[in-house]
Amino acid sequence: MQTVFDATLERLRSAREAFVPALWVREIGRVVRVSNGIAAVAGLPGVGFEERVAFPNGLFGIAFDLGAEEIGVVVLGDARDLAAGDPAARTGRVVDVPIGDGLLGRVVNALGEPVDDHGPLAGMGRAPIERPAPGIMQRAPVNQALQTGLKAIDALIPIGRGQRELILGDRQTGKTAIAVDTILNQRGQNVVCVYCAIGQRASSVARVLATLAEYGAMPGCIVMVTEGSEAPGVAYIAPYAATRIAEDFMDRGRDVLIVYDDLTQHARAYRALSLLLRRPPGREAFPGDIFYLHARLLERATHLDAGRGGGSLTALPIVETSAQDISAYIPTNLISITDGQIYLSPRLFELGVLPAIDIGLSVSRVGGAAQPAAYRSVASHLKLAYAQFEELESFARFGTRLDAASRRTIEHGRRIRACLGQPAGAPVALVEQIAVLLALVEGLFDEVALEAMAAAEGAVRDSVANLAPGVGARLALAEELAAADRAAILAQARQALAGHRAVSLAP
């Protein structure tokens, strides 16, 4: 027994003599005052911009305003748990989020913490939420379509992989529905989808999650959620964190779609933080750097060149307008940053035209360059025909007598509008779109009554199944629509429409 005691004592003596204390320097300041989502901290002279600052009880913040005597810290959590006199320590790192394939199918918050019931994230790397946008020489042209499954968008306002297309409109006009339908249409397309909800109601987020789960789209999606009741600092970092998660897939050569729903709430959160930090306000009380806030975010959406893997990040930012005012500060900023916009009209929504896209105010600056050639050959003249119809329809409201040609133009335009409409949650495949649009351009629907258009369109879409094998692949890859394929599609469409009631367009 004495031998064991002596041996243990010797080991302890040796361990004591070999111990070298590890010393490190830490800066620990104190909280001077706390307001709604903001803390003023003194005693951290070496802190860097946007460095994480640790507070008690696992609370963190971002160093935002660096003053000589004190710094302004944006609190990433409930500031009610913080009080004057609490310690605040530097961490020597910026805010980061987990990245990797383990995020697919998960719902996380702006800090990358899971908020679903699928357990913790394991084996994930981490990356800072901010990084510079790729340079011009690292980018490739946007020349491949991102099919939304919505005929009105794919035909008239095409979106390419790597493009930034703004969705704007008043409240409850279907902005989120368009974004969700686009996500649903990416099933089986090898496109990773990231949906970032910024300051949304819990019921709205739950509805989106239920839709994605119902249609089996969640395995290829990542959902980042910040609710309206959370601190403004959390809403501020959310789109940057979601973009960093999406960029990881893009860097590995994947095609990614990211939806920001919506950047109006993001701008309001940043305005609240800026006013609390006593920064000088500008137009509509927004700070002067609000343009840079969104520009540095959306510039990260791109199509990388082959040397960097050829991946792409397509952004669909959503912004809310008030009383149809698209010339307001935030909408005009985002219109100037993005590569086009899709405007949703409350007037069309009230008339039951869904999706309520105002074709005249919507544009894609990539245009037909991103459309498959066969699709472009069918849809190239559709926007002009629709614009002529809208002009004539407005003219006809004054009770003007129209000639037979004008009446035919109006009737044809009404069928274009009927064909471009579709319900939410029902994206249309590329081959079916080509069949419907080709029949429309050739005037096959002109003899169909308006009330029978939905059934007639469904019949044409069903007729695609009777086409010869391989036609669909040729339509997606061919440089132009072959005459044989065109004739085959029209023959099937005529056969499908044969049984529908005809109308007379005679004077």
Contact (Cβ atoms closer than 8 angstroms) between residue 221 and residue 193: yes
Q: Name the DSSP class of 479.
A: S
**Bridge partners of 195?**
223, 259
Catalytic residue among 139, 268, 296, 365: 365
Residue 131 annotated to the active site: no
- What CA–CA distance (Å, rounded) separates 386 from 391? 9
In the structure encoding, which two tokens stand for residue 180, read together?
């969700």
Q: Name the DSSP class of 354.
A: S
Exposure of 230 in the CB half-sphere (CA atoms within 13 A): 24
Length reported for the chain:
507
Contact (Cβ atoms closer than 8 angstroms) between residue 181 and residue 212: no
Contact (Cβ atoms closer than 8 angstroms) between residue 47 and residue 69: no
- What CA–CA distance (Å, rounded) separates 188 from 106? 18
Exposure of 464 in the CB half-sphere (CA atoms within 13 A): 22
To which residue do tokens 């959390």 refer? 234
Query: What residue type is assigned to position 378 of the chain?
Result: V
State the alpha helices, DSSP H only, in 338-429: 346-350, 373-379, 382-396, 404-420
Angle at 472 between CA 471 and CA 474, to 5 degrees: 65
363 contact partners, CB below 8 Å, separation of at least 6: 157, 340, 341
Active site residues: 365
